């Protein structure tokens, strides 16, 4: 029940395209859903996060869509750029503290 399932494992998108990464969770006590971006040799960096009281949050080219009834949330990267090539992790927690991470999606944006 603590797992967060993430898909796809890897993704190749052309420059300017939309990248979509999906996550699903079971624990209905989760109330914080962040997405992290990780470049090789670096630690994860918070990209965007959402609480379950809203269905969508947008920050620049990054949007989280949240479906509470389905217990699913997704990250959309609009106008994907080569600099977005990284590994993306979804996570979930009760409060901010005990984050449970997905297995990651390796995104490659081709020029």
Partner 1 sequence: EAGVVQSPRYKIIEKKQPVAFWCNPISGHNTLYWYLQNLGQGPELLIRYENEEAVDDSQLPKDRFSAERLKGVDSTLKIQPAELGDSAVYLCASSSAGAEQFFGPGTRLTVL
Give residues in contact with partner 1 (CB under 8 A): 6, 34, 36, 41-46, 49, 89, 91, 95-99, 101-104
Closer to partner 1 at the Cβ: 4 or 77?
4
Closer to partner 1 at the Cβ: 63 or 93?
93
DSSP label at residue 84: G
Nearest distance from residue 89's CB to partner 1, in Å?
5
Cis peptide bond N-terminal to 8, omega within 30: yes
Nearest distance from residue 36's CB to partner 1, in Å?
8
Question: Measured at the alpha carbon of residue 30, what is the angle toward residues 21 and 88, in degrees to the nearest 5?
Answer: 25
Chain-centroid distance of CA 42 in Å reads 17
């Amino acid at each position: 029940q603590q797992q967060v399932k993430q898909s796809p494992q890897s993704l190749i998108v052309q420059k300017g395209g939309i990248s979509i990464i999906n996550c699903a969770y079971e624990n209905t006590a989760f109330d914080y859903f962040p997405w992290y971006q990780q470049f090789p040799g670096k630690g994860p960096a918070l990209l965007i996060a959402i609480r379950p009281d809203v269905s969508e949050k947008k920050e620049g080219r990054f949007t989280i869509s949240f479906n509470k009834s389905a217990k699913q949330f997704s990250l959309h990267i609009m106008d994907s750029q080569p600099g977005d090539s990284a590994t993306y992790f979804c996570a979930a927690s009760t409060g901010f503290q005990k984050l449970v991470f997905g297995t990651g999606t390796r995104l490659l944006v081709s020029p």
